Amino acid sequence: MYSTTSSLSQFSPQQSVQNDIPKGQLKELVNLELMDLRKRYTKASPASMLKFPYSLMLAEDDNGEIVGTLGLDFQILDKKENKFKKLTSSSISFLETDYEEPVVVLSNLAVRPDKRKLGIGRMLLKEREGVVQTWGYNSIFLLVDSQNINAQKLYKKCGYKAVFEGEGTCVAIGAVGLRTQECVNVCYKKVLRGGKGSGAIEMPNFGEMFSGLFRRSS
Ligand SMILES: CC(C)(COP(=O)(O)OP(=O)(O)OC[C@H]1O[C@@H](n2cnc3c(N)ncnc32)[C@H](O)[C@@H]1OP(=O)(O)O)[C@@H](O)C(=O)NCCC(=O)NCCS
From the alpha carbon of 122, which atom of ligand 1 is closest?
Answer: 12
Question: Which residues have C-beta within 8 Å of that of residue 134, sequence separation ≥ 6?
Answer: 204, 205
Question: Which of the four pLDDT bands, split at 50, 70 and 90, describes residue 200?
Answer: very low
User: Which of 10-19, 48-57, 125-134, 174-183: highest mean pLDDT?
Assistant: 125-134
Q: How many domains does the chain have?
A: 1
87 Cα: distance to centroid of ligand 1 (angstroms): 28
**Closest CA relative to residue 97, chosen from 107, 85, 108:** 85
Q: Is 147 in the pocket of ligand 1 (CB under 6 A)?
A: no
Question: Which of the four pLDDT bands, split at 50, 70 and 90, describes residue 92?
Answer: low
From the alpha carbon of 151, which atom of ligand 1 is closest?
Answer: 1
Residue 44's beta-bridge partner residues?
A: none
Q: Is 126 in the pocket of ligand 1 (CB under 6 A)?
A: no
pLDDT (mean) for 132-145 = 95
Q: Is 150 in the pocket of ligand 1 (CB under 6 A)?
A: yes
Pairing of strands 55-60, 66-78: antiparallel
Question: Which of the four pLDDT bands, split at 50, 70 and 90, describes residue 166?
Answer: very high
Q: Is 111 in the pocket of ligand 1 (CB under 6 A)?
A: yes
58 Cα: distance to centroid of ligand 1 (angstroms): 16
Q: Is 156 in the pocket of ligand 1 (CB under 6 A)?
A: no
Question: Which of the four pLDDT bands, split at 50, 70 and 90, describes residue 178?
Answer: confident
Q: What is the pLDDT of residue 18?
A: 62
pLDDT digits (tens, 9 = 90+) for 35-86: 999 999 988 898 888 889 999 999 998 888 899 999 999 999 998 999 998 8
Q: Calculate the average pLDDT of the chain.
A: 83
Question: Which of the four pLDDT bands, split at 50, 70 and 90, describes residue 125?
Answer: very high
Percent of the chain with pLDDT over 70: 83
CA 107 to chain centre: 1
Q: Is 153 in the pocket of ligand 1 (CB under 6 A)?
A: yes
Question: Could you tell me how many residues make up the chain?
Answer: 218
CATH number reported for the structural domain that contains residue 202 in this entry: 3.40.630.30
Q: Are 60 and 214 in contact (CB under 8 A)?
A: yes
Residues of the domain holding 73: 5-215
Q: Is 15 in the pocket of ligand 1 (CB under 6 A)?
A: yes
Phi and psi of 133, rounded to 5°? -65, -35
- The DSSP H or E segment spanning 168 is strand 161-173
Query: Between the CA of residue 18 and those of 23, 125, 208, 210, what are the distances in Å?
Result: 11, 25, 32, 27
pLDDT of 23 > 90? The answer is no
pLDDT of 12 > 70? The answer is yes
User: Which of 23-32, 107-116, 192-201: highest mean pLDDT?
Assistant: 107-116
Q: Give the burial class of 177: count Cβ atoms within 10 A of its Cβ; 0-12 exposed, 13-18 middle, 19 or more buried.
A: exposed
Residue 134's beta-bridge partner residues?
A: none
Model-level pTM? 0.87
